[in-house]
A and B are shown apart, each in its own frame.
Chain A
Amino acid sequence: MTHARINSGWIASSLCALLFAGCIPAVPPDLISQIENIDQDLIALGAPQTAPEEYADFARQWAALKIRAQAADDLIRWPWESSDFEQQLRTLHTEGDKTVARLTDRQAEQRRTAEATLSRLEQRFQSLTSHVSSFGGHLVLGDKPAQTDLLLRQARTYFNDKHYSRSLHTAEQANRALHIQESALTNELKRYADHEQISRWQKIAAHTVEWSRTHRSTAILVSKADRKLTLYKNGRKMLSYPVRLGFNGIRNKQFQGDGATPEGRYRVTGMRGKGETQFYRALVLDYPNAEDRRRFHLAKRTGKIAPTTAIGGDIEIHGAENELMAQTLGCIMLDNPHMSELFSLVETGTPVTIVGATTEHNTIAQLLTGLRDHHEPPSL
């Protein structure tokens, strides 16, 4: 009898244990932690900022369900028993997953756009800087290149910190700065692509060559755009050398200290040999000539230059005091072996014509065409 009671107790206990073992928690813990992860992912993706409505909807549902989950933490149910609460959690999980996927795609797209925009701008800026340096036009742009550079560096910092939206915004500012820089350059250099101006330069260049032919003598022609000095004898091209100009040499000289190299028709008025110049050998030019003075006084009268400004002088074709120096204060500088050769072939009175360019396809005109072709207008 006692034995039978023990047996029935044991059976009851086993049955209860079996029944409880067959039960499952009313709130699946895995599901809760998965939704928690989705929430973290959404926040990491910046959903509150980039998809505020979608995130608010998710967060609202999640906050409400979480309270229910906490309340039902220790509840269990039969596996076959349907749970409306679990269904709601699963729906939220599915929706959240979809939002994460959508935002991941969106962020990847934003990253790609930012990277492409930034790389394109950096490339454009590098290309412009290198072209401008190649013809010594850096000074023409003032502090604009530095400002553009700073903006691009900022945009790159934001990009590296994964702030793609801010990176794009700063990149757009850099694009505007670059646009201003390109416009300033185009405006400053347009004379190098101006048909009428080039015709005038070609005319005085032809006149110099013709003078050399008719006087059976030497004449010098300097093209600033091509940075080239050509020596003519009897109207025929004799020698050609690369030259370095003033630090602002791409401009026409206006006043003392502007670093520009003058344009016009000059003559060699003095020859400084060994020991007479600090620049190896030098041919002194008659800058300022009558035309330079006329322009200078007009600029003063019209207020384009300050009344106290001087016209300057001592413009020479000279050798290099220091071979590493890339620019002059407004003169035309040759390598010493070339200067030596040139010095031996010319004499006082030799005409020297300095022009912006001799052809319409000069280096600067090509740069301007390139700028026009690759122009990328800033967004409004």
Chain B
Amino acid sequence: MGIRTTAAFIILVSLIATGCTKPPSEQLEAAEQAVKEAQQSGANLYAPEEYAKLEGSLAAMKKEAAEQDGKFGLFKDYGKAEQLAASTSTDAARVKTEAAQKKEETRTAALQAQQVAQEAVSSTLQLVAKAPVGKDRAAIEAIKNDAEALKSSLAQVQTALDKEDYPAAQAQAKAIDEKSRSVSSEIQNALAKVHRGKSSPSSKK
């Protein structure tokens, strides 16, 4: 009788100590996974504000769960943690979709900027090719290097695109476009000057 009573008492105490409430591990992990997926979809880059909120919610959820873990048996209540896990998962799914959409928009904008830059560089190179080969060549010789630099810098835009760093690709393409226009204008001015004079035969120098 005494042994039975002691065993029942120990079981009862253990039950109280460990508590009947179990931590909602699956929900917590799911929420964590959802935030991770949002991050992988580029949310930290393309929806930084929303992603920051997600990280905040995730941190709050973990803190809440940890606090409950530390409580004594029957006093444990994972209700808030579960609520936080559910809202974090829902928000993460939404942010993931939004980020993917924003990423696609940024990619499209970067590709458009790349095309504009390519056209500007191509037009500049055509102008260089049109330049005279005789004595007048001196007028544009000095700016040929700029045109070559522009041509090679287009590769950097492609590298940024390949790395999916679309904001960088866009900024680089914009700079190339601006510079191309400036070089084209320089070449046109130089050509206008030499065309005002008579054409010259090529000479040894």
Q: Which residues of A are interface residues toward B (Cβ below 8 A)?
A: 39, 43-44, 46-49, 55-56, 58-64, 67, 136, 138-139, 141-143, 145-147, 149-151, 153-154, 157-158, 163, 166, 170, 246-248, 256-257, 259, 278, 310, 312-315, 321-322, 324-331
Contact = CB atoms under 8 A, between A and B. Distances in A.
A49 B43 CA distance: 13
B46 to A, nearest CB: 14
Contact of A43 (B49, B136, B197): B49
A59 B59 contact: yes
Given A64-B64, A327-B139, A153 B197 contact: no
A56 B55 contact: yes
Contacts of B53: 39, 43, 59
B149 interface: yes
Nearest to B57: A63
Interface stretch (B6-14, B19-27, B99-107, B173-181): B173-181
Which label, helix, strand, loop or mixed, suits the secondary structure of the B interface?
Answer: helix
B48 A278 contact: no
Given A143-B149, A324-B196, A43 B52 contact: yes
24 contacts: A46-B48, A48-B55, A49-B48, A56-B59, A60-B56, A60-B59, A63-B56, A64-B60, A64-B64, A139-B141, A142-B145, A145-B145, A146-B179, A150-B150, A154-B171, A154-B174, A247-B141, A278-B198, A314-B204, A322-B194, A325-B139, A325-B197, A327-B138, A331-B205
B57 A59 contact: yes
Interface string B128-153: 00000001111101110110111011
Contacts of A56: 55-56, 59
A327 B205 contact: no
A153 B174 contact: yes
B145 A150 contact: no
Nearest to A143: B149
A143 B205 contact: no
A158 B196 CA distance: 41
Contacts of B152: 143
A48 B198 contact: no
B205 A315 contact: yes
A147 B145 CA distance: 10
B114 to A, nearest CB: 14
B203 A143 contact: no
Contacts of B49: 43-44
A275 to B, nearest CB: 13
Interface in B2-52: 48-49, 51-52
Nearest to B88: A63
Contacts of A143: 145-146, 148-149, 152
B193 interface: yes
Contacts of A153: 174-175, 178-179
Contacts of A327: 138-139, 141-142
Contact of A150 (B60, B142, B176, B194): B176
A321 B141 contact: no
Contacts of A49: 48, 52
Given A158-B171, A247-B138, A329-B205, A146 B145 contact: yes
A157 B171 contact: yes
Closest 3 CB pairs of A and B: A59-B56, A322-B197, A48-B52
Interface string B165-192: 0010001101110110001000000000
